[in-house]
Structure 1
Amino acid sequence: MGLTVFANLVHAAGNRSVGLLSELMAVLKVGGIAAFGIAGLWAGGFSFEPAEGADCGAAAGFPASVAPAFLAFKGFATITNSGAEVTGPHRNVGRAIVISIAICVVVYLLVAFAVGAKLPLDRIVAAQDYALAEAAEPALGRIGFYLTVALALVATASGVIASIFAVSRMLAMLIDMKLIPHGHFGMPGTIRDHTLVYTVVIASALTIFFDLSRIASLGAFFYLVMDILIHCCVWRILREEIGARGWVLLTAIGLDTVALAAVAALKWQSDPLIVAIAIAGMTAVFLFERIFLALNPPSREPAHGSHHSAQEERHEPTS
């Protein structure tokens, strides 16, 4: 919760502060994780073979593990949600997505090889969040543990700041399109300022009621369902208009469905409550949105046709 409040203060300082801090944290995060991965490989003699006694586990575990991987690569979604803030978005958004995915692939492969070649599965499970530090322990010693904690804090802070920035901008865009309601509750500033506060409040509530594992599970459920729905809508409605290839969309829908079914099945066995919460949450969102749009049909006019867009509209607190 304290981290989300810190992220709110960073965003309140302006886009320049967000950009500079995000760049610094990204360098520390990527460089630190890569260094740990290289240290782990070095400690294992740069062997890319599984550790002795390693067990691949159940076959259903692989597609289920893909679901959290969607969140690991969600940085490209953060980029697209922040497209309005990017200079030359038509050229730079695509480049940023390709570069971010390439960096993630290299870093994650380093970590996977370093941990998998050094530790058997039971030790990886026992170490949990500190598996990389344990794999690099022969090279880094006890200091590796403390560096892992520091690196985890930097990585979490970086992700929270970037996600809050992107989500608040996306909410402002949806308000501008008259797809969701908005109330300023007496707050001054632009609607972007308001959506930033809403995002921080919701994120803080999640950290109070759920641990990180459950938050990640909820994120996987919501993200996969959202991905499937978007691909279905593009395939049915916009495919010809934007020149999308049908087989690519159908393949994405199929893979998303397999991952969603696998993670739902495993979570239903280990933590059925989180599955029920995810279903209830999505049902509530769909019902609310259906009722809102029925009572407030969206206008056919362009969302930015008014003199002031929702993102630029300002509200002063009422007396």
Structure 2
Amino acid sequence: MTEYNKDSITLTGAVGLGTGVMISAGIFALLGQVAELGGVWFPLIFILGGVVTGFSAYSYVKMSNEYPSAGGIGMFLVKAYGKGTVTAAAAMMMAISMVINQSLVARTFGTYTLQLFDVSTSSFWVPVLGVALIIFAFLVNISGNTFIQSFTSIASLIKIIGITVFALAGLYVAGFSLEPAEAGNNAPETTIASFIAAIALTILSFKGFTTITNSGSEIKKPKKNVGRAIVISILISLVVYLLLAWGVSSNLTLTEIIEARDYSLAEAARPAFGDIGVWLTVILAIIATITGIIASVFAVSRMLAMLTDMRLIPHSHFGMPGSIQKHTLVYTIVIAMALTIFFDLSRIASMGAILYLTMDMIIHWGVFKHLREKVGANPFIVLTALLLDAIILAAFVWVKIQSDLLVVGISVIAIILIVAGEWFFLKRVQEEESAQ
């Protein structure tokens, strides 16, 4: 059976887990991609992303208050739809999007680390370093909850202070100008669709708040502290993202940000602080990505373990000893390593955004249709979150169809395979239970 430690995570520890996932690849890797889609006013897109995330988080807070559990989103879906294909498929989409985020974090770690050695980001060392980070995250996760929350909380505090100081210093050098970034040469044209699509990537950088819901039964006073931890984590991340985005836009042109989009923060440190600034930025990126992947692995392995306990996803021990949660931890690590090796940052982020927004819409509809009275949710807020998700997902897919049809195709095929696979698996489970 799965092993959980009740009351082993404090409110501070939960906030550390949430910000640990959010303030990692979300800002270090996605900033350049957001700038490319959003144009010179791209820092404002983080505010819009925070607003959309706030509407989205409402459903999760209401569900967490009523059903705190270590399965988090998996349990929410069960309460809304029962133990059927919709629940299993949506939960798997969330789990896979979280694993995708781990590979995004891992490649970001490799990309920024190589800036210390002036090595090209196309080097094979990027996936090698990424895989090494994932293995390190595995070792930390088998060390126990007390160590995990202490490590992520302390490291999260260090990186938040460091990133804030860097952003304020960059704004100081630029005279705290609130002017938009200069376009530079051959800057891409920004359309309404691309501007809205950019919000999808900022939402991906905020979605780490869902990590907190997956530790619900292990958080002290969960009916009160899960919701608090979610709100606090989102607000902290929003402030950090906005400061950093303005700091970068004040020191680089839009073209320069896009050219260095996988390591734009390090490049932004160069004009103001020289090589020392680059080193400090890279160190912060390393700390941020390490905490991000540790917290993400921690959360997704628990959600997969609960889904396994409820017989909603297939499971095999493959001869491994230990609990189901330890097994799902291994599966999570192996899949993340494969994605790190075979996909680049842009495609990893796109797949994660499509899968997450699809799952998020299923959550909101479930709350509105089946649970709004039970959890005391305001239907207007829930429907607003659903509508915003739909608009942003449609714009993002439309932009990606024109620029990278392959990643849209892979994402659609992945969703179809998940739904079909879960349907066949659950049908077999029902047949086995009927035969008993």
Paired position in structure 1 for 2:407: 274
| Partner in structure 2 of residue 60 of structure 1 | 193
User: 1:145-195, CA deviations, whole angstroms, 9 ceiling, x for partnerless residues?
Assistant: 222222222212211111110000011111122211221111111111111
One of 5, 8, 32 as aligned partner of 2:162: 32
* Structure 2 SS opposite 1:262: helix
TM superposition shift of 1:57: 2.3
Higher relative contact order (CA 8 A, sep 6+): 2
Within 5 Å, which residues of 2 pair with 1:157-236?
Answer: 157-236=290-369
Q: 1:219 aligns to what SS in structure 2?
A: helix
Percent identity reads 53
* 2:155 equivalent to 1:22: no
Contact 2:182–2:253 under 8 Å retained in 1:
yes
CA deviations over 1:5-48 (Å, ceiling 9, x no partner): 11111111222221222122212221222122111101101111
Q: CA RMSD in A?
A: 2.0
Distance 1:227 1:53 in 2: 34
CA contact (8 A) 1:51 1:120 kept: yes
Unaligned runs of 5+ in 1: 301-319
Q: Could you tell me how far apart the structure 1 residues matched to 2:432 and 2:295 are?
A: 31
Checking the alignment, whether the CA contact within 8 Å between 2:216 and 2:222 is kept in structure 1 is yes
Q: How far apart in 2 are the matches of 1:129 and 1:208?
A: 16
Residue 292 of structure 1: how far off its partner (Å): 1.6
Partner of 2:137: 7
Post-superposition offset of 1:137: 3.1
Quote the offset at 1:53 in angstroms: 4.5
Residue range with higher mean Cα deviation, 120-129 or 185-194: 120-129
**Could you say what secondary structure the match of 1:73 adopts?**
helix
Taking a change above 3 Å as real, the CA distance of residues 53 and 182 of structure 1, as seen in their structure-2 partners, is: closer
Contact kept, 8 Å, 1:78 with 1:166, in 2: the verdict is yes
- 2:418 matched residue in structure 1: 285
Q: How does 1:32-51 map to 2 (within 5 A)?
A: 32-51=162-181
CA distance in 2, matches of 1:184, 1:276: 32
Equivalent residue for 2:239, pick from 101, 106, 110: 106
Aligned residues: 300
User: How high is the TM-score relative to the length of structure 2?
Assistant: 0.65
| Mean Cα deviation higher: 176-185 or 123-132 | 123-132
Q: Which runs of 5+ in 2 are unaligned?
A: 1-130
Q: Distance in 1 between matches of 2:182 and 2:418?
A: 47
What is the DSSP-based 3-state SS (H/G/I as helix, E as strand, rest coil) of the residue aligned with 1:129?
coil
CA distance in 1, matches of 2:286, 2:391: 32
Contact 1:39-1:136 within 8 A present in 2 as well: no
Counterpart CA distance in 2 for 1:285 and 1:130 is 33
Q: 2:377 aligns with which of 244, 250, 267?
A: 244
- Rg: which structure is higher? 1
What is the DSSP-based 3-state SS (H/G/I as helix, E as strand, rest coil) of the residue aligned with 1:182? coil
SS in 2 for 1:189: coil
